Amino acid sequence: MILDSFRLDGRVALVTGGTQGLGQSSAIALAEAGADVVILGRSDPNETGNAIAQLGRRWTAINQDLASASVSDLQETVSQVVKDMGRLDILVNNAGIQRRTPAIDFSEADWDEVLQINLKSVFFLAQAAGRVMMQQGGGKIINIASLLSFQGGITIPAYSAAKHGVAGITQSLSNEWAKHHINVNAIAPGYMDTANTTALRNDPVRYQAILDRIPAGHWGKQDDIQGLVVYLASAASDYMHGVTIPLDGGWMGR
Ligand code: NAP
């Protein structure tokens, strides 16, 4: 039955930034589909963890600041997941930050922080997870990209550079790893109602301008990511490789 192929029973997922926002909704969706979940972040994981526990799934948390984590720290994180949970089947590379400053004044510190969290940690976590998945015979890597993987945005040059990079490495990894039964794909959320977009939603002019361009007529909610994340984590998507899928209320079609 086709719906059975969406089940994730017995799988283990690592969700970066699973403490809130799109990562929290993703973590809960994966648990609803049957997966056990490791939540990576800096803040209190209990809200997400309690929701996972109520679903009867196992969860643990890894407190890690991706702004300062070295490549060997990220490898250690993946080893910790395997030690605690026995395996790693799904990586959701979701953690991300935004820094808004006109390009003419954009600082090196902001550039480095955005690229470190939104791109470098995405690649090296995928590399560490890929090594485990190859040994296990396959896996699923879901990178959270953005509409800024396709567009330049306004006052967010580092974010746009990083998210274009996420779409690029999604294809690069896919080209090398599809033959190992590892699916690497990305979700490009549109304008979603999370902490990442607080500044935009607090600017009435930008808020309305964005809203006017969304064919669906409203901003996305954090749970809107759940169906796609479960699909990409499951056997239902086994022949899908290297794509960055907009989830945007129709924005990219305008
Ligand atoms: P959010 O509510 O601000 O959540 C960001 C998450 O990233 C938090 O769980 C945070 O966890 C984690 N994070 C941030 N800095 C971190 C660090 N230094 N180390 C470890 N974890 C860190 O934003 P969101 O909207 O859910 O964003 C999730 C992803 O979706 C991001 O990659 C974002 O770029 C992308 N996205 C969002 C939108 C949107 O409209 N909201 C649109 C397109 C793409 P802790 O606070 O626990 O560290």
231 is catalytic: no
Q: Where are the beta strands (DSSP E) in the chain?
A: 12-16, 36-41, 59-63, 90-93, 139-144, 182-189, 244-247
Ligand 1 pocket test: pick from 194, 200, 213, 252 the residue with the most ligand atoms within 8 Å of its Cβ. Answer: 194
Taken in order of first residue, the domains within the chain and their CATH numbers are 2-194+221-248 (3.40.50.720)
Taking the chain (254 residues) in consecutive chunks of 10 residues, what is each chunk's mean pLDDT? 96 98 98 98 98 98 98 98 98 98 98 98 99 98 98 97 99 98 99 94 95 97 98 98 98 95
Structure confidence at residue 49 (pLDDT): 98
Structure confidence at residue 206 (pLDDT): 93
* Ligand 1 centre distance from Cα of residue 220 (Å): 15
Structure confidence at residue 5 (pLDDT): 98
Structure confidence at residue 207 (pLDDT): 95
* Ligand 1 centre distance from Cα of residue 98 (Å): 8
Q: Is 24 helix (H, G, I), strand (E, B) or coil?
A: helix
pTM tops 0.95, yes or no? yes
Structure confidence at residue 162 (pLDDT): 99
The residues, ordered by sequence, that sit 6+ positions from 74 with a Cβ below 8 Å of its Cβ are 121, 124, 125, 128
Q: Name the one residue in this structure whose structure tokens are 């470190």.
A: 116
Ligand 1 atom with the smallest distance to the CA of 19 is: 9
Give residues (CB < 6 A) around ligand 1.
17, 19-23, 41-43, 65-67, 94-97, 117, 144, 146, 189, 191-192, 194-197
Ligand 1 atom with the smallest distance to the CA of 95 is: 7
Ligand 1 pocket test: pick from 48, 94, 120 the residue with the most ligand atoms within 8 Å of its Cβ. Answer: 94
